[in-house]
Structure 1
Amino acid sequence: MKTLLLILACLPAFAQTSSNDEAAVKATVNKLFEGMQKADSTILRPLFTPTARLQTVVNKQGEVAVNDDGIGKFISSIGKAKAGTLDERLASMEVKIDGELATAWTPYVFYRQDQKSHCGVNAFTLVKMSGSWKIQTIIDTRRKDNCPDLPKQ
Structure 2
Amino acid sequence: MRLLLLPCLLLAAPAALAQTNAAATPPAETEAVKATVTRFFEGLRKGDSAVVRSTLAPTVVLHTISTRGGNVQVINESPKEFLKAVGTPHKDVWDERISFERVLIDAQLASVWTPYQFYAGATFSHCGYNSFQLVKLPQGWRIAYVIDTRRKDGCK
Shared fold per TM-score greater than 0.5: yes
Q: Distance in 2 between matches of 1:18 and 1:57?
A: 33
Within the alignment, does 1:141 sit opposite 2:149 as a pair?
yes
Q: Distance in 2 between matches of 1:81 and 1:33?
A: 16
Normalised by the length of structure 2, the TM-score is: 0.79
Write out aligned runs for 1:67-146 (5 A).
67-82=75-90, 85-146=93-154
Native 8 Å contact 1:52 1:70 kept in 2: no
| Residues 1:101 and 1:20: Cα distance change in structure 2 (over 3 Å) | same
Give the length in aligned residue pairs.
139
Q: Tell me which moved more, 22-31 or 70-79.
A: 70-79
Fraction of identical pairs, as percent:
42
Q: Which has the higher strand share?
A: 1
| Deviation of the 1:99 alpha carbon | 0.7
Write out aligned runs for 1:29-68 (5 A).
29-68=37-76
| Deviation of the 1:83 alpha carbon | 8.0
RMSD: 2.4
Native 8 Å contact 1:95 1:105 kept in 2: yes
Question: Any stretches of 5+ residues in structure 2 without a counterpart?
Answer: 1-15
| Deviation of the 1:120 alpha carbon | 0.3
Structure 1 ranges of 4+ moved more than 3 A: 81-84
Q: Distance in 2 between matches of 1:84 and 1:20?
A: 34
- Greater Rg over alpha carbons, structure: 2
| Residues 1:123 and 1:129: Cα distance change in structure 2 (over 3 Å) | same
